[in-house]
Amino acid sequence: MTKIRRRDFLIKPFLKRDNYRAFFQITSTIVPIISLWLISNQIINSSFFFLIKVFLLGPILCLLTLLSSRTFSLMHDCGHNSLFTKRRLNSFFGFLLGLVNGIPHKSWSIDHAFHHRNNGNWEIYKGPIDVLSLEDYNHLSKREQLFYRLSRNWIMLFPGGFYYLVLKPRLGLLIIILNFSNDLIKEAFIKLKKRKFSALLAIQSRVKPPFSDYGDSFSELFELIMNNIIVITGWIFMSKWLGLFFFLTFYSLVSTLSAAILICVFFVQHNYKNAYAKNTKSWDIVEGAILGSSNLNIPNWLNWFLADISFHSIHHLSEGIPNYNLKACHKANSHLLQQSQFLKLSDFSDCFKYIIWDNKNEKLISIN
């Protein structure tokens, strides 16, 4: 196998960012989302028969799902500071795009950066489903092994997607509040026990990092709080405007399906047959990028909704390349990507078999 070297790739010309193009991408995504919700309101308030309303809302559900996926993909670019020319613009629009999907942009971006720094090193980064090594899997009981296999079945994309976008950011903040409240109660109890009544108002407990799954800094905590306030306020407004039952049902379906698409894409781009799966000692970051990330041969229209993340090897080699340059960069370096894995939509289901890391032979394996 030919040694892969970063300096062999043509990268620099494709690092150029364009604020106008980035703003157009966001506008051409958000405006249709708003329009589709407005159309949905017209449909549910129309005099059409129920079945006709369902028939008309079906395509809107599909489009909102795909546009939600695109919104997340653009937020992903902001997390890499690759969409706009300035970091502040990426942070600002990343925060706004995160509101659409209900997920805090900053803490997500930091976690995602960890994935990029360690892709292909399965000793450190276990992938989106927390893959076990073969050694650890064999130490599980039969019941635990069954649970492991079931919890990593493709069908779990749907409840997992709902949890990831709708519940997890809310529960993350709730855990922080409960932990702080618990500290306050403990502090008050100790003071009462020691009869230090005058010290009850002198609160010493503090909210301290790490904050559940949402980072190690107060800036991440602040964004989590703001995200929750704005998102929940938006839910209340939309529920009053569209009706509680319709909005919660429709929004939950959109969030579940779009997250399922994104998790599926992320999974198949790193869990597949013959994927690069080294331990720390033999791991190489460039090989991890090229050999540990699959590229997807998918229709152009689907590529648009995923913001060209299908050109994934180049993206991992240089995450600073904006999505609107990924395809051109991939094409310019195609002769160097012949060792990379290319997957079709029909290959996706096969990828979900590779949920065990054989740490001795350094490869992903399936479970019989």
pLDDT for residue 209 = 56
pLDDT for residue 172 = 86
pLDDT for residue 259 = 96
**Where in the chain are the domains?**
6-163+213-366
pLDDT for residue 77 = 97
Q: How far apart are the first and last CA of the chain?
A: 30
Closest CA to 21 of 91, 72, 88, 93: 93
Q: How far is CA 320 from CA 6, 116, 277, in A?
A: 14, 12, 24
pLDDT (tens digit per residue) in 193-203: 766 656 555 55
The one-digit pLDDT tens for each residue of the chain (368 residues) are 567 888 999 999 999 999 999 999 999 999 999 999 999 999 999 988 989 999 999 999 999 999 999 999 999 999 999 999 999 999 999 999 999 999 999 989 998 999 999 999 999 998 878 899 999 999 999 999 999 999 999 999 999 999 999 999 999 888 888 887 777 777 777 767 766 656 555 555 555 555 566 666 778 888 999 999 999 999 999 999 999 999 999 999 999 999 999 999 999 999 999 999 999 999 999 999 999 999 999 999 999 999 999 999 999 999 999 999 999 999 999 999 998 999 999 999 999 999 999 999 999 999 86
Q: Name the token pair of 59.
A: 């395509």
CA–CA–CA angle 131, 330, 101 (5° rounding): 55
The answer to whether the beta carbons of residues 215 and 107 sit under 8 Å apart is yes
Residue 344's beta-bridge partner residues? 297
The answer to whether the beta carbons of residues 270 and 295 sit under 8 Å apart is no
Q: Which residues of 75-104 are buried (b: 16+ CB within 10 A; e: fewer)?
A: bbbbbbbbbbeeeebbbebbbbbbbbbbbb
**What pTM does this model have?**
0.90
Q: Alpha-carbon distance 256 to 65, whole Å? A: 9
- What residues contact 278, with CB distance under 8 A and at least 6 apart? 120, 121, 122, 123, 284, 287, 288, 362
Task: List helix spans (H) across the chain.
Answer: 19-44, 50-79, 87-101, 105-118, 134-138, 142-151, 157-162, 168-193, 218-242, 244-268, 285-291, 300-305, 312-317, 323-332, 348-351
pLDDT (tens digit per residue) in 320-362: 999 999 999 999 999 999 989 999 999 999 999 999 999 999 9
